[in-house]
Structure 1
Amino acid sequence: MAYDKIAERVILLKRFLPQLEQPSGWELRARVYGEVLGLRQGWPRSLEELAGIISDSQLVEVFRLSPYREYYSFRGRYYTVRGGELILEGSWGQVREAVWEAFRLNGIKTYAVLKALLELGEAPYASVEARASEILGSRLNAARLLAQLRDRWELVWESGSAREKGWTIPEEIRPVVEEFVKAVESKPIPRLSTRQAEDEFVQVLEMEAAYNSYLEGLVRERLDEALSFGRSFTVAKLVEYLVDLFGSVIFFDELLTLAQQYSIADTPVVTESGHKAMSTGFNLALFGEPGTGKTFATKDFILGNESLGVPPHGLPGLNRYCGGMTPAMFIAIGEAYAGRRFNFIVTEFNDWFKHRGMVEPLKLALEGGVIAYETKTYRVGPYRFSSFFSVNYNTRVLERGYEVTVSDPNFNAIEDRMLCRLHRLTKEKYRELAESQRRLMLGITTEKMAKMAPRIRDHLTLVHAVQTGHPLVRDFTPKRVVLTERDLEAVTRAREAILEAMGEVKALPFSMRLERRAVQLASALSLASYFNRDEPELGIDPEALRLAVRFYVEEAWIRARESFDVGEVLRRLNLG
C-alpha cells in the first residue's frame, strides 16, 4: 500500500478515534482489535501500525465506532467523511476547485493567508494577519477572508479554546494548499498596480495550471506515443497534413500560426561558432480583406472551435484570447504576465488603434520593452512585457499592394515588428476556401483533424516543455537551433534576386527586419523536426528554410506593392 495512503489513515484515525491512543481507551481498543480485526493477541502498538494492516472495509466498520463522526469533516486524497459517513474515495479535486475559487474571488490575498498558515502551522489571528501582511507587502485585515475560507470553502479551521483560539489548515488538505502555493510561486510574483491586473493574475495562474495538467497527463499516459510520433514527424509532413486539409494556397496561414506556437519557447538560435544570433519568438499578423480565413487560422485552428468540429492544435493554457479587449485594458493586465511567455490572440487589431497614443506602448510590447502608462485616474507599470502577439486586421487590398485602414500614421512601426502575411481574395484562394468549407461541413476535414491534431498538440507541448526547462521533463536536455553560413546564403540569394527584380528604386519599402523574420520562421519551423535525431543541437530543416525564403520573397513583393515579377524570382530561386 502507498505510504501516503497509510499516512492519511493515521490522520483519519487520530481525528475520529483519538481514544485508541489514550490510556483509558482499552474498551474501544478491544472492540477494534478483537471484534473488527479478529485479533486475539499481537495488537498493533501504534496507529501507524494499525493503519498499515487494516483493510478499507474494516476501516469503515471501525469508523462507525467514532463518537465524533457527526461533528468533523475529512477531505483527503483517498478518503472523505461527509454526513457522518466514511466514503472510500478522495476529495482533493473538490479541494483544488475550492482553493482556486477562493483565489479568483480574493486574488493574491488568498495566497498570502494560506502561505502564512502553512508556515505557522497553528497560530492565533494576530500572528496570521502579521505574517500574511508581510508576504503581501502591505497591511492586510484577514478576518473576513479567514471567515470565508472557513465557512464557505472549509480550507481553514478555528481551533483551540475559547480564550486562546488559533487558525490552522486541516492536515489532510495541506498537500493541496502547498501545491497551490507552489503554483503561485513557480515564477516571480509581479507587482500589480490595478485591480484588473490582480484579477488577470488569477487567470494567468489558472492557465499555467491547465498547461501543467495537460503536460502531466502527456508524460504519464502518452510520452512513448508522443516520442514515437516525433521521431517520424518533419516539417514536410506538417505541410503535407495542412495542404491536405486546406489546399496548396491557404495552408500557409495555418503553417504560420503553428510555427509561432513552436516559437513561443523562445529557443536560442546560434551560429556554428556558438554566437547567439537571435531567439525564435516572433509576433504574427495576418492582414487583408475580410472573409479570407484570418480568424480561423489564428483563433479557431489554435484554440479549437467545438461548433465547427475543429480540435485545438496550439499550446494548452498559453494562448490568451483577447476578444473584446481594449488596448487600455491590455496595458493594465499586461503586468500580470511580466516574466512569462504567453501568446495574445487579437482578432480585431484595427480596433486597438481607434484610441490615441496606443502605437508607442504596443511598439514597446512587441519589442519586449518596458511599458509604463498613466492617466488622470491610475498609473500602470513600469513592467517588462515578454509575451507575444498573434493578430488579425483588415486592410483595403488594392490591385497592387494594400492600404492600411488604421488612421495612425505610425502604424507601420507596428507592422515592421511583426511577421506579416497579406490575404488577397484571388479566384484560386476563393475556390480553396469554398472547398475547405465544404469538406468541413461534410466532416471530412474534422475526421482527419481528430486523428492528427492531438498528436501535433502533444508534440508541440513536449517540445515547449523541454525547451523551457519544465521540471516534469527534466530528463530531456534542451536544444539550440544552429544557423549556418549556408542557411544565410539562401536568404542572401533571395535578397539579391529581389533587389535585381525591383530595378532602380529611391528607397526600399521594407527593412532588414524582414530578413530576420524569415530566419526566425525557419528556426521555429525546424522545431517540428525536434525528435528526428538525438544530436544536442538542431540544424535548420531544409524544408523549413525553403518555406521561410519563399515567405521572404512574397512579403518583399507585397511591401514593394507588387512592383516586380514574384513568379520569376521564385523560379530563379527554385521555389516555384
Structure 2
Amino acid sequence: MAYDKIVERVILLRRFLPQLEQLTGWEFRARVYKGVLGLDYDWPKSIEELARMVDDSQLAEVFKLSPYRSYYSFRGHYYTVRGGELYLEDSWSEVKKAVWEAFRLNGIKVYALLKALMELGEAPFAAVAARASEILGSKFNPAHLLAQLRDRWEIVWESGAGRERSWTIPEEIRPVVEDFIKTVESKPIPRLSTRQAEDEFVRVLEMESEYNSYLGELLRERLDETIEFGRGFSVQGLVEYLVDLFGREIYFDELLTLAQQYSLTDTPVVTESGHRSMTTGFNLALFGEPGTGKTFATKDFIVGNESLGVLAHGLPGLNRYCGGMTPAMFIAIGEAYAGRRFNFIVTEFNDWFKHRGMVEPLKLALEGGVIAYETKTYRVGPYRFSSFFSVNYNTRVFERGYQVTVSDPNFNAIEDRMLCRLHRLTKEKYRELAESQKRLMLGVTTEKMARMAPRIRDHLTLVHAIQTGHPATRDFSPKRIILRESDLAAVTSAREAMLEAMGEFKVLPFSMRLERRAVQLASSLTLASYFNSDSEELAIDPDALRLAVRFYVEEAWIRAGERFDVKEVLRRLNLA
C-alpha cells in the first residue's frame, strides 16, 4: 500500500489504541465511537475505516484515551508522538538525519543491518546477524550496532525477553530507511581498498542524498517556474548577470566555473551526420598570482560562502572541496567515486606536486583513466576515475608570460589536459576586484545574487538531472549538442589568424587540445539555453561560440608568451 496520511493514521491507531481491534474491547470502542465521535450507530468496522473517517482534531481527542501514550513514541511524516503528546508535525527529517549520522559513524555495516531488518520485518538476533553478514559479504556481529541504533538514534526497536527477543524497524519510519537503502544501492557499491575510501564512500552517499533532496524539492515545488525561467535564459543573459556582479574585467572567471558545472552532464557532442565527436566534460584550472580572485571563482561562487554573503551557484552535493587534502589521500578516496561523476575543487593545486610521483596518477585522473597506486604499507585500486577537477595554482606572472612554480618538469602534461585561464593583476583588474569587494561588504552583490542565484542553480540542477538520466526526470528526454562545420570553421579562422600573427615561431607552445577545449566550452555554455526550444538537438549557441573562440585566442596568446598582437587578431575575427 502506498504510504500516505491515512496509512500513517492506521499505524498510529494500531500502536496506541490496539483495543479497537480486540474482541473484548467493546466498552473501549463505545468510549471512542460514542463518547468522542458521537456515533450512536454505524460504527466503523475496521481501523482503516476509522482512519478515513476522522479528521486531525478528532484523532487528537481519540489519542487522549490511549493507555500507552506515555510508553511508545511515533515519528511519522504527518504525526509525531513525543512525551505522551500527539503533534501534527513531520519527524522524517529528524529520522533521516539520524540514519545518515549512524551511517557516517559506522559505515557500510549500517546499510547491511538496516537492509536485513527491512527484509526480515521482525526477527530474532541470530537471523538478523546472519542476513546482515550475507549482505555485507563477511561475518558480522551486529550486537553493539543494534544497541546504538536502538538507544542513540531510535531507528530500531527490541521486543520480547530472553531468547524470545526480536528486532524490528518501526513501521512509520520504514519509508525513510527504504529511501536510504535505495540511495546506497542506486549505483554499484564499489570494492574499497582502504579505510579512507570506506569513510569517503559514506560522504559520497551523503552528497548524493543532498543532490537528490534538492532535486526532489525542485521538481515538487519549482518545476514550472524553473522551466519558465529557462525559456528566457541564455548565454547572453548569464554574461549580463555576471558582468553586473563583477565587471567586464573579471566576470569571465565565474563564467568558466559555471560553464564547467554545466559540462559535468558530459553531454554528447555529435556532428550533423551523427558522429560522436566528444562530450562536454572538462577539467578547469585558474592560475596566476595570489590574491586575484581564483579561489572566489572556483570555490566560493560555486558552493557558496556564508561569511562573505555569497550564494551557491553550482550543483548541490556534487562539488567535493579538497581543502587541506594531500594527493595521496585523493588517490585513496578516489576509489569511492568510481562510476560516479563529481567535481573536485582543489584551491592549492601546487601543493599536490610537492610529493614525488604524483604527475602520472593525476594525469590518468584527468583523462578518466585507470588508477593504481602502491606503497610499502598499502595498495589502492585499480579503479577508473570518472570525475572532474576545478583547480587553482599559483604562478610567477611577468610583464609578458608566466612561469609555473611547480618544480616537476612534467607538469605541462597536467596543464595540457585542462582548460586553463591566466590571472594577471592589471590596474583594470585591481580596480574591479576592489570594487567587487566593496559591493560584497555593502551587501549589494548579495542582494543581486538573492534574485538570480537560486534560479540559475535550479536551472543547472534540472538540466544536469535530465542530461544524466536521473530517474526523477524520466518524463524529460536528454538532448544532444550538434557540432556543425560552420562552428569548426570559426575555430579554424581563429587558428589561421593566430598562426599568421605568430610569424616565425618554429615550435608552437600549445597543442591541438586547446582547440578541443574551446569546442567543449562552447558546447557547455550552450546548455544555458537548454529550454529555449523543445527540440532534442541543441545547435551551439552563437554567443557561446564567440566566447569560446575568444578564450582560444587569448589562451594561445598566453601560451605563446604574449608574442603576437592579440588585439589585432581579435579585431580581425570581430571579437574585439
In structure 1, C-alpha distance between the alignment counterparts of 2:442 and 2:61, rounded to whole Å: 58
Cα displacement (A) at 1:492: 0.9
Aligned to 2:490: 490
In structure 1, C-alpha distance between the alignment counterparts of 2:88 and 2:540, rounded to whole Å: 54
Aligned to 1:297: 297
Q: Structure 1, residues 192-239: CA drift from partner, whole Å, max 9, x if none?
A: 222211221121111111112221222222222211211111111111
Amino acid across the alignment from 1:138: S
Q: Structure 1 residues 328 and 57, CA, compared in 2 at 3 Å: closer, same or farther? A: same
Aligned to 2:94: 94
In structure 2, C-alpha distance between the alignment counterparts of 1:61 and 1:304, rounded to whole Å: 47
Cα displacement (A) at 1:119: 0.9
Q: Residue 128 in 1 paired to residue 133 in 2?
A: no
Structure 1 outlier segments of 4+, above 4 Å: none
Aligned to 1:386: 386
Q: Residue 74 in 1 paired to residue 71 in 2?
A: no
Aligned to 1:570: 570
Cα displacement (A) at 1:565: 1.3
SS of the aligned residue for 1:35 comes to helix
Gaps of 5+ in 2: none
Pairing 1:131-530 to 2, within 5 Å after superposition: 131-530=131-530
Gaps of 5+ in 1: none
In structure 1, C-alpha distance between the alignment counterparts of 2:302 and 2:14, rounded to whole Å: 50
In structure 1, C-alpha distance between the alignment counterparts of 2:430 and 2:3, rounded to whole Å: 63
Q: Structure 1, residues 169-193: CA drift from partner, whole Å, max 9, x if none?
A: 1111111100111111112212122
SS of the aligned residue for 2:173 comes to helix
SS of the aligned residue for 1:12 comes to helix
In structure 2, C-alpha distance between the alignment counterparts of 1:552 and 1:404, rounded to whole Å: 20
Figure out how many residues of one structure are paired with residues of the other and give that number. 575
Q: Structure 1 residues 187 and 426, CA, compared in 2 at 3 Å: closer, same or farther? A: same
Amino acid across the alignment from 1:506: K
In structure 1, C-alpha distance between the alignment counterparts of 2:537 and 2:236, rounded to whole Å: 20
In structure 1, C-alpha distance between the alignment counterparts of 2:163 and 2:236, rounded to whole Å: 74
Cα displacement (A) at 1:3: 6.9
Cα displacement (A) at 1:163: 3.0
In structure 2, C-alpha distance between the alignment counterparts of 1:251 and 1:84, rounded to whole Å: 57
Cα displacement (A) at 1:346: 0.7
In structure 2, C-alpha distance between the alignment counterparts of 1:408 and 1:70, rounded to whole Å: 68
CA RMSD of aligned residues (A): 1.4
In structure 1, C-alpha distance between the alignment counterparts of 2:60 and 2:235, rounded to whole Å: 57
SS of the aligned residue for 1:381 comes to strand
SS of the aligned residue for 1:508 comes to coil
Aligned to 2:23: 23
Cα displacement (A) at 1:69: 2.3
User: Sequence identity, in percent?
Assistant: 83
In structure 2, C-alpha distance between the alignment counterparts of 1:3 and 1:364, rounded to whole Å: 47
In structure 2, C-alpha distance between the alignment counterparts of 1:55 and 1:397, rounded to whole Å: 71
SS of the aligned residue for 1:395 comes to strand
- Of residues 87-96 and 487-496 in structure 1, the stretch that sits farther from structure 2 once superposed is 87-96
Q: Residue 118 in 1 paired to residue 118 in 2?
A: yes
Q: Structure 1, residues 434-469: CA drift from partner, whole Å, max 9, x if none?
A: 222223223332222221211111111111111111
In structure 2, C-alpha distance between the alignment counterparts of 1:518 and 1:155, rounded to whole Å: 52
In structure 2, C-alpha distance between the alignment counterparts of 1:20 and 1:493, rounded to whole Å: 83
In structure 2, C-alpha distance between the alignment counterparts of 1:446 and 1:102, rounded to whole Å: 36
Cα displacement (A) at 1:161: 4.7
In structure 2, C-alpha distance between the alignment counterparts of 1:63 and 1:488, rounded to whole Å: 72
In structure 2, C-alpha distance between the alignment counterparts of 1:528 and 1:387, rounded to whole Å: 21
In structure 1, C-alpha distance between the alignment counterparts of 2:444 and 2:230, rounded to whole Å: 25
TM-score (norm. length: structure 1): 0.97
- Of residues 296-305 and 85-94 in structure 1, the stretch that sits farther from structure 2 once superposed is 85-94
Amino acid across the alignment from 2:354: K
In structure 1, C-alpha distance between the alignment counterparts of 2:240 and 2:434, rounded to whole Å: 20
Cα displacement (A) at 1:473: 2.0
SS of the aligned residue for 1:320 comes to strand
Aligned to 2:537: 537
Q: Structure 1, residues 455-507: CA drift from partner, whole Å, max 9, x if none?
A: 11111111111111122222211100000000001111111111122123332
In structure 2, C-alpha distance between the alignment counterparts of 1:501 and 1:240, rounded to whole Å: 31
Q: Structure 1 residues 564 and 18, CA, compared in 2 at 3 Å: closer, same or farther? A: same
In structure 1, C-alpha distance between the alignment counterparts of 2:232 and 2:4, rounded to whole Å: 40
